[in-house]
Amino acid sequence: MPTGNYIRQNSVKTRLAAGLAANHVEGFLQWLRERQYTPLTVIERERLLACWTDWACEAGYAFETIRDAYKASYTLIGSGYRSRFRGDLHKDAVECAKLFIIYLETCKVLDSLPAPTEPALLVEFRHWALEQHGLAETTLGFYLHVIRLFVAYMGEDPTTYTAATIRAFVLERGQNVSQCRVKGIIVSTRSFLRFLVATKRCPSGLVHALPRSANWQLTSIPRFLPDAEIERIIDACDGEHRLRDRAIILLLARLGLRASEVARLTFDDLDWSQGHIRIHGKGRRLELLPLTQEIGDAIVAYVTRQRPPVPTRALFVTVVAPVHEINRIVVKCLVNRALTRAGIDSPHRGAHILRHSAATAMLRHGVSLADVGAVLRHRDTAMTAHYAKVDLTLLSAIAQPWDGRAPC
């Protein structure tokens, strides 16, 4: 038997080297390590990526069409495709491909590649909405979802749009949905029509094709939790592994921040010398709120004792790999879990219940309506007055005199 050094061939690395991800594998693996993936998980992701790239190459895809390859594989798995042998395409491999594409987008590698096909009207509307109206990404995302359906229904030629067909679209989409959803469809469609009018693609009269939906604003009692339950929620975020949750809950419950505003906070938004937090509010407005001792201590504890060292200026990041900045959905789920741990039985379990609770708590403790409106950053004073319904004394302060005749 011959002697000598034998090198075992690594089939995974060989398959990756021959696939469409060959030039970016090592960078992807290092990116995973920087985001706190464990060594065993990194190895598993490498194997899954090899499975997916094998399928993509056999299906005739190249790196230039990697987004199309992912879309096709996702559709294939959704249609019920099952692996035929070890190493074949399966759900976990497709999820790994999605993670790989996120890495490529993060590193700007895909900037030079063709973007997913999108009607030119929608691409131009996105830029118009962001630059001219300063819409938040979350709001714009909802608008675009409705507008994609609108364009698919109406076609890409605005000169063919009529008031009758526009109303027909809204009536069809509005069947079997809530009143709030119908209002969202109307607002999104009207915004798109305003864009078409502004760019001289259709006559201005079409903006008025959709009447306003019935809406009884500010008629309900504000949803809020009493002070004792708020304290229970904060106490439910004790322990070293929940320092992030505690800091976020305090920002929501004490300052009445929105979930998206918390998610967008960065280290640059904290002014420790002046005791201010800079908030990125609606319409790209930048506003200052006080950085209280309680909130400051919670943030310092999180940053120094729990936050992992990741290359991002975002203040709050995820606690499991891949570690990256959080979004408003993470904040919403975090609040929901805190309510459950605190034993709070409330039908409203999102982050906004804490904003309402902060407003009503300030009013009950003697803070004026004007000051509450300044903290919540309301543009309309009627929104702030809505919270006065929780206190009859405050209601009497804002009630208007009755001009009618006295009853018999």
Active-site amino acid positions: 258, 282, 352, 355, 378, 387
Half-sphere exposure of 402 (CA within 13 A, CB side): 5
Q: What angle do CA 117, 120, 124 make, to 5 degrees?
A: 120
Which residues are CB-neighbours of 175 under 8 A, at least 6 positions away? none
d(CA 405, CA 273): 59
The answer to whether the beta carbons of residues 373 and 381 sit under 8 Å apart is yes
Determine how many CB atoms are found less than 10 A away from the CB of residue 360: 23
Determine how many CB atoms are found less than 10 A away from the CB of residue 12: 17
Determine how many CB atoms are found less than 10 A away from the CB of residue 95: 15
Helix or strand holding residue 353 (H, E): helix 352-364
Beta bridge partners of 266: 314
- Do you find a cis peptide bond into 203, omega within 30 degrees of 0? no
* 145 Cα distance to chain centroid: 14
d(CA 234, CA 357): 13
The answer to whether the beta carbons of residues 372 and 363 sit under 8 Å apart is yes
SS3 state of residue 293: helix
